[in-house]
Amino acid sequence: MEEKRWYVVNTYSGHENKVKEKLEMRIESMDMQENIFRVVVPEQTEIEIKDGVKKEKVKKLFPGYVLVEMIMSDEAWYVVRNTPGVTGFIGSSGKGAKPIPLSSNEIDRILGQMGMSRLELGSEIVEGDKVKIIAGPFVSMFGRIEKIDLEQQKLKVVVDLFGQETLVEVELAQVEKA
C-alpha cells in the first residue's frame, strides 16, 4: 500500500480557501477520507503597525497553491484534480502523469513556518515509538519517545549518548518515525 505524502496543488490565485473548502466537501461526499487526509492553505500571521495601531494580518506563503496530504491513487488524484478552482498538480508533466510529492524536508519547513507538523501527534506518533532525529544537534540519532508535549509540539526522546541513555528535547518537525 502507498504511504501518505504531501502534494502541491495549483489553484486560481485568491481562491485557495474556496478550493480547500470545496475539496474538503468532496472528500466527505465522495467518501475519500481513507485516501485524502489534510488540506492546508500555507499562510502565516504577521503583525502590521499602521497609524500606530497594531493589526494582525494573515499572509499567504504561496499564493495560488494548496497543500494536500494524500495517498496517491487514481481515485484520489481524480477527486483533487477535478475540484472546482484546481488547475493541476505541481510536479506533474501533465498528460495523465502522476505528480511527485514534496520531500520530508520541504514539507517540514513549510508546515514548521505555520506551527504545524506532518506527523499527527496521538494518531501517527505515540509515546514509546522509535524515531530518527533528522535535524538539530542530535541529527541521525535514533531514540524512543518518552513524553509528548502537544501544546509546544515537542518530544522528550531517550537517545544513546556515549553509551548512556539520555533524555533530550526535540521539536516534532525534527523527527521521523523509524
7-58, pLDDT tens digit by residue?
999 999 899 999 999 999 999 999 999 999 999 998 888 888 888 888 888 8
Q: What is the pLDDT of residue 58?
A: 83
What is the CATH topology of the domain spanning 130-177? SH3 type barrels. (2.30.30)
More confident residue, 39 or 175: 39
Q: What is the pLDDT of residues 89-125, one digit of tens each?
A: 988 776 677 898 988 778 877 887 776 766 665 557 7
Q: Which amino acid does the sequence have at 169?
A: E
19 contacts: CB under 8 Å, gap ≥ 6? 9, 11, 12, 66, 83, 84, 85, 86
Shared fold status for 5-113 and 130-177 = no
The answer to whether 60 and 19 have CB atoms below 8 angstroms apart is no
Grid cell 470545496 — which residue? 22
More confident residue, 17 or 154: 17
Q: What is the pLDDT of residue 107?
A: 83
pLDDT above 90 for 66 = yes
Q: What is the pLDDT of residue 121?
A: 57
Q: What is the pLDDT of residue 67?
A: 94
Q: What is the pLDDT of residue 1?
A: 52
What is the residue extent of each domain of the chain? 5-113, 130-177
Over range 73-78, report the average pLDDT.
90
CA distances from 97 to 27, 74, 78, 83 (A): 22, 11, 12, 18
Q: What is the pLDDT of residue 122?
A: 56
Backbone angles phi, psi at 173, to 5 degrees: -70, -10
Mean pLDDT of the chain: 85
Hey, which CATH number is domain 5-113, 3.30.70.940, 1.10.600.10, 3.40.50.2300, 3.40.50.2000? Answer: 3.30.70.940
Least confident span in 76-80, 83-87, 133-137: 133-137
Q: What is the pLDDT of residue 39?
A: 93
89 contacts: CB under 8 Å, gap ≥ 6? 7, 8, 9, 10, 77, 80, 81, 99
